[in-house]
């Protein structure tokens, strides 16, 4: 019997994988780069690569349901007359009205308020929905200055000077014309229906020395009442943190590359900036070197999903974390109940990231009056509050197991890393060893 | 330019509240201004010895007059909402940034970013303005008696910028709906900014602004108008070379 030549199994390239091929075809067909939200999707070193050790003979735990584990945090005690006091160290990150619908902003305010934390405006000014429903509201001061005015500055509980964000350190924004409703256009002082570019640099200051003077102006306008945050993308966390402190910030916010409800080019999201995990220790180190750790608070964002992530960030020296993507999911974003509509948009629940296009089936990242009705701000706010409370309970569970009566007592010594990369980035030993890569010359 | 001293008559008039920055802190000045209420009788203020201080008279929200006797640093009159503020000297960067309403007059020159992101009111610079004058302006009117520097009216959204002298490079780059009127030479225009026809309504508008700014001996017809070609309003890959 003749032996036929056996065929080899068709093999696809690891370099030119299906996604890459589809992106080349898409670019060739459309002549424009892909823009999307949702932050870096590639696999990155992250909190999953860290583990807590828990209690042992030398460390004893706290009783899970009986012994108190404090979760509160005070932000802005350095200079502000009225620092912010939060019940939990998880805040809601800045997301603009314009990007998000009015009901979605209201839901964020409601959820954050029930849970005892703050929410944040975005690149589109302050809306009544969010001011009215947010006990504590952080007002972003952005390069575009869309909607900026002194009345809202004084109605805010804190001011966040945004230098950059994790999705695009060094990049500006673009809100496509289809999301520019009459109301969005009015708030941004631009004609309806045109693409709105957000500048990447502030119009009236450049560099740390100017920033110091700009912060002085904001303090003078608000009579030194409001805490002033400075938010940077995860680019040079050591120096950016140090310079923000030098410029007079009360709070430094560092946003890693997994962060990004902001829409920008796929190539930007995936290739610029550092992972959240890589940003934390340099930022903490900068504060420690300046003697400002715990005096200037550090907030970290980008890929925070659960109480373990919160606890790990705090153990590495962070004062609070911030969530954006996870908050939208809690409101109902990417819910499989809309699968048929996601399919019609050429995607699937869990992968939908064209938040900038205004056709969000979940009704969150849209200005379409019919779609936005799908968000019930009360119910969605309740879901967000539930989620925030679960994350807090989870973080407390871990902290108690480590013998800590406050989340802020967690420390790097409670952690080990599963990979050499994570060990090096977090500055904690590789599991099963006492080796911290890069420390003591090894 | 040197500070204009108060005249003897002004001193004797005594109805202005005089605030000497060599005796009191900046914070005291701004807090005192912010405490004013609509019914206040303290409608005339005089600030002495600013000596280049930053953030002089920022966030004022009452219709009072403030005369600053000397030159100021960054962000003087920032976010002004209704006051008439005169600087009898020159102003540092960002004078009148994000003004909401009211009047700011700079007797001398102004540094970078004058009137940045301003939303309303009138900013008059009797000397020259440096680069990025009117950057990202959102409704403010700016009248400059002298020249303006490069990248002025960058991403200017709305309002009017009037320049009696010359404009530097890349005027009106990425401009939206703001109107630019320049009497002298324009070094170059930025992306999507073009010269436009001066129609009667523009002459009328410009004449009104010149009158409001106290400009005499200059006719609106001597100016050229510049504004957006509106080619970059919606992204098109074939325009990528323009950026």
Secondary structure of chain A as H, E, C letters: CCCCCCCCCCCCCCCCCHHHHHHHHHHHHHCCCCEECCCCCCCCCCHHHEEECCCCCCCCCCCCCCCCCECCEEECCCCCCCCEEECCCEEECECCECCECHHHHHHHHHHHHHHCCEEECECCECCHHHHHHCCEEEEEECCCCCCCCHHHHHHCCEEEEECCCCCCCCCCEEECHHHCCHHHHHHHCCCCCCCEEECCCCCCCCHHHHHHHHHHHHHHHCCCCCCEEEEEECCCHHHHHHHHHHCCCCEEEEECCCCCCCCEEHHHHHHCCCCHHHHHHHHHHHHHHCCCECCEEEEEECCCCCHHHHHHHHHCCCCEEEECHHHHHHHCCCCHHHHHHHHHCCCCCCCCCCHHHCCCCCCCCCCCHHHHCCCCHHHHHHHHHHHHHHHHHHHHHHHHHCCCCEHHHCCHHHEEECCHHHHHHHCCCECCCCCCCCHHHC
- Residues in chain B with CB shorter than 8 Å from the CB of A188 are 157
Pairs of CB atoms within 8 A across A/B: 110
Residue B102, in any domain of the structure: yes
Which structural domain, as residue segments, surrounds residue A130?
35-402
Residue B9 — pLDDT band, cuts 50, 70, 90?
Answer: very low
A152 burial type by CB count under 10 A (0-12 exposed, 13-18 middle, 19+ buried): middle
Residue A372 · residue A102 · CB < 8 Å: yes
Cα–Cα distance for residue pair A62/A410, rounded to 1 Å? 13
* C-alpha distance across the termini of chain B, in Å: 39
> Regarding beta strands B193-196 and A84-86, do their DSSP bridges make them parallel or antiparallel, or are they unpaired?
unpaired
Q: How many domains does chain B have?
A: 1
Residue A10 C-alpha, separation from nearest chain B C-alpha, in angstroms: 37
Please indicate, yes or no, if residue B3 is contained in any of the structural domains.
no
A163 and A181 together in one domain: yes
| A184 contacts on B by Cβ (under 8 Å) | none
* Residues A148, A57 within the same domain: yes
Please indicate whether residue A356 or residue A364 has the higher confidence score (pLDDT): A364
Chain B residues whose CB is inside 8 A of the A224 CB are: 27
Q: Considering chain A, what is the average pLDDT of its residues?
A: 93
Average pLDDT over residues A21-47: 92
Which residue in B has a C-alpha nearest to residue A31's C-alpha? B237
My answer on whether A347 and A432 are in the same domain is no
Predicted local confidence at residue B243, as pLDDT:
60
Shared-domain flag, residues A376 and A422: no
Q: What is the DSSP string of chain B?
A: ----PPPHHHHHH--SEEEETTTS-HHHHHHHHHT--TT-S--EEEEE--TT-SSTT-S--SS-EEEEES-B-TTTTTT-EEEEEEESS-B-TTTTTT--EEEEEESS-B-TTTTTT--SSEEEESS-B-TTTTTT-EEEEEEESS-B-TTTTTT--EEEEEESS-B-SSBTTT--S-EEEESS-BS-B-TTEEEE---HHHHHHHHHHHHHTT--S--GGG-EEEEE--SSSS--GGGGGG-
Query: Are A277 and A295 within one domain?
Result: yes
Going by pLDDT thresholds of 50, 70 and 90, the confidence category of residue A179 is low
Asked if B157's CB is within 8 angstroms of A189's CB, the reply is yes
Query: Is A398 in the same domain as A416?
Result: no
Share of residues in chain A with pLDDT > 70 (%): 98
Q: Are A188 and A98 in contact (CB under 8 A)?
A: yes
Interface with B, mutate which of A27, A189, A357 (most B CBs under 10 A): A189
Cβ atoms of A431 and A417 within 8 Å: the answer is yes
| pLDDT confidence of residue A338 | 97
Cα separations in angstroms, A49 against A309, A311, B106: 10, 13, 59
pLDDT of residue B2: 45
* Greatest pairwise CA separation for chain B in angstroms: 67
Distance, C-alpha A80 to centroid of its chain: 24
Biggest CA-to-CA distance, chain A: 95
Task: State how far Cα B146 lies from the chain centre.
Answer: 13
Report the number of distinct structural domains present in chain A.
2
For residue B99, what are the CA distances in angstroms to A412, B64, B84, B145, B187? 48, 15, 11, 19, 28
Domain check: are A87 and A171 in the same one? yes
Q: A15 lies in a domain?
A: no
**Residues from chain B contacting residue A31 (CB–CB below 8 Å):** 237-238
Q: Would B2 be classed as within a structural domain?
A: no
Q: State the pLDDT at residue A1.
A: 60
Residues A324 and A429 in one domain: no
Q: Is the backbone of residue A146 left (phi > 0), alpha (psi -120 to 50) or beta?
A: beta
Pair A233, A276 in one domain: yes
Specify which of A172-186, A259-273, B128-142 reaches the highest per-range mean pLDDT: B128-142
Q: What is the CATH number of the domain that holds B154?
A: 2.160.20.60
The CATH number for A165's domain is 3.20.20.70
Same-domain status, A110 and A259: yes
Shared-domain flag, residues A286 and A433: no
**Shortest alpha-carbon distance between residue A190 and chain B (Å):** 6
Q: How far apart are CA A436 and CA A414, in angstroms?
A: 14
Q: Do B78 and A189 touch (CB under 8 A)?
A: no
Residue B148 falls within a domain, yes or no? yes
Residue B193 lies in a domain: yes
pLDDT over threshold 50, residue A324: yes
Q: Given pLDDT bands bounded at 50, 70 and 90, which one contains residue A148?
A: very high
Cβ <8 Å between A213 and B119? no
Q: Which chain B residues contact residue A248 at CB under 8 A?
A: none
Q: Which of A148, A174, A199 lies at the smallest CB-CB distance from B155?
A: A199
State how far the Cα of A351 lies from the Cα of A331, in Å rounded to an integer.
16
Contacts for B149-155: CB closer than 8 Å, 24+ residues apart: B149/B112, B150/B187, B151/B190, B153/B178, B153/B180, B153/B193, B154/A203, B154/B190, B155/A197, B155/A199, B155/A203
Q: Which residue in the set A151, A199, A213 is minimally distant from B54, CB to CB?
A: A213
Question: Does A221 contact B155 at a Cβ distance shorter than 8 Å?
Answer: no
Q: What pLDDT, on a 0 to 100 scale, did the predictor assign at position B242?
A: 65
The whole domain housing B185 covers 8-242
pLDDT at A270: 94
* Token pair for A340: 């048929």
Residue B14 has pLDDT above 60, yes or no: no
Domain assignment of residue B47, yes or no:
yes
CB of B128 closer than 8 Å to CB of B148: yes
- What mean pLDDT is predicted for residues B148-154? 98
Task: Give the integer Cα–Cα distance in Å for A401 and B41.
Answer: 64
A392 and A433 together in one domain:
no
Place A125 in a pLDDT band, splitting at 50, 70 and 90.
confident
| Mean pLDDT, all residues of chain B | 93
Q: What is the mean pLDDT of residues A320-334?
A: 97
* CA–CA gap between residue A193 and residue B233 (Å, rounded): 9
Instruction: Tell me, yes or no, whether A78 lies in a domain.
Output: yes
Q: Which two tokens stand for residue B147?
A: 């020249």
Is B1 a member of any domain?
Answer: no
Establish if A30 belongs to a structural domain.
Answer: no
Q: How much is the pTM?
A: 0.94
């Amino acid at each position: 019997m003749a032996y036929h030549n056996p065929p080899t199994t068709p093999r696809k390239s690891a370099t030119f994988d299906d996604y890459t091929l589809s992106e080349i075809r898409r670019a060739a067909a459309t002549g424009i780069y892909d823009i999307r939200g949702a932050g870096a999707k590639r696999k990155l070193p992250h909190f999953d690569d860290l583990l807590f050790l828990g209690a042992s003979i030398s460390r004893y735990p706290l009783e899970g349901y009986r012994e108190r584990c404090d979760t509160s945090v005070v932000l802005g005690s350095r200079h502000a007359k009225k620092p912010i006091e939060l019940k939990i160290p998880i805040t809601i990150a800045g997301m603009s009205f314009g990007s998000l619908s009015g009901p979605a902003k209201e839901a964020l305010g409601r959820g954050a308020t029930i849970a005892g934390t703050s929410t944040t405006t975005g690149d589109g000014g302050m809306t009544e929905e969010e001011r009215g429903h947010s006990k504590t509201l952080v007002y972003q001061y952005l390069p575009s200055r869309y909607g900026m005015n002194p009345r809202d500055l004084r109605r805010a509980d804190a001011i966040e000077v945004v230098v950059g964000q994790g999705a695009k350190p060094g990049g500006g924004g673009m809100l496509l014309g289809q999301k520019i409703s009459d109301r969005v256009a009015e708030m941004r002082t631009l004609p309806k229906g045109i693409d709105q570019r957000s500048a990447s640099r502030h119009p009236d200051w450049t560099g740390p020395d100017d920033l110091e003077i700009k912060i002085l102006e904001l303090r003078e306008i608000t009579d030194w009442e409001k805490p002033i945050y400075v938010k940077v993308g995860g680019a040079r966390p050591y120096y950016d943190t140090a310079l923000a402190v030098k410029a007079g910030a009360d709070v430094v916010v560092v946003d890693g590359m997994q962060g990004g409800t902001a829409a920008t080019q796929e190539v930007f999201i995936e290739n610029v900036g550092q992972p959240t995990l890589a940003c934390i220790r340099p930022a903490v180190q900068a504060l420690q070197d300046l003697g400002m750790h715990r005096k200037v608070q550090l907030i970290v964002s980008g890929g925070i999903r659960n109480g373990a992530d919160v606890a790990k960030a705090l153990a590495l020296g962070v004062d609070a974390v911030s969530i954006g993507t996870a908050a939208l999911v809690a409101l109902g974003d990417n819910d499989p109940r809309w699968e048929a509509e996601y399919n019609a948009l050429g995607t699937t629940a869990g992968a939908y990231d064209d938040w900038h296009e205004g056709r969000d089936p979940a009704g969150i990242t849209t200005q379409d009056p019919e779609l936005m009705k799908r968000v019930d701000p009360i119910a969605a706010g309740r879901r967000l509050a539930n989620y925030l409370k679960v994350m807090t309970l989870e973080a407390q569970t871990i902290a108690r197991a480590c013998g800590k009566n406050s989340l802020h007592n967690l420390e790097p010594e409670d952690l080990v890393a599963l990979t050499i990369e994570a060990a090096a980035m977090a500055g904690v030993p590789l599991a099963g060893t006492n080796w911290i890569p890069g420390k003591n010359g090894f | 330019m040197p500070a204009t001293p108060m005249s003897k008559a002004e001193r004797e008039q005594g109805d202005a509240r005089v605030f000497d920055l060599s005796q009191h802190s900046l914070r005291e000045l701004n807090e005192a201004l912010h405490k004013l209420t609509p019914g206040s009788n303290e409608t005339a203020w005089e600030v002495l010895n600013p000596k280049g201080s930053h953030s002089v008279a920022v966030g004022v929200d009452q219709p009072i007059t403030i005369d600053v006797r000397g030159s100021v640093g960054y962000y003087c009159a920032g976010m002004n909402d209704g006051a008439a503020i005169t600087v009898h000297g020159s102003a540092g960067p960002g004078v009148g940034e994000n003004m909401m309403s009211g009047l700011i007059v700079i007797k001398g020159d102004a540094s970078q970013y004058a009137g940045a992101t301003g939303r309303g009111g009138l900013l008059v610079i009797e000397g020259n303005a440096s680069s990025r004058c009117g950057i990202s302006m959102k409704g403010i009117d700016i009248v400059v008696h002298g020249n303006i520097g490069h990248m002025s009216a960058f991403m200017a959204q709305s309002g009017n910028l009037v320049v009696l002298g010359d404009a530097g490079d890349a005027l009106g780059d990425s401009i939206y709906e703001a109107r630019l009127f320049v009497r002298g030479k324009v070094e170059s225009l930025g992306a999507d900014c073009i010269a436009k026809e001066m129609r009667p309504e523009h002459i009328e508008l410009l004449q009104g602004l010149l009158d409001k700014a106290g400009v005499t001996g200059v006719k609106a017809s001597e100016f050229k108008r510049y504004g957006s070609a509106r080619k970059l309003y919606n992204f098109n890959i074939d325009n990528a070379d323009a950026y």
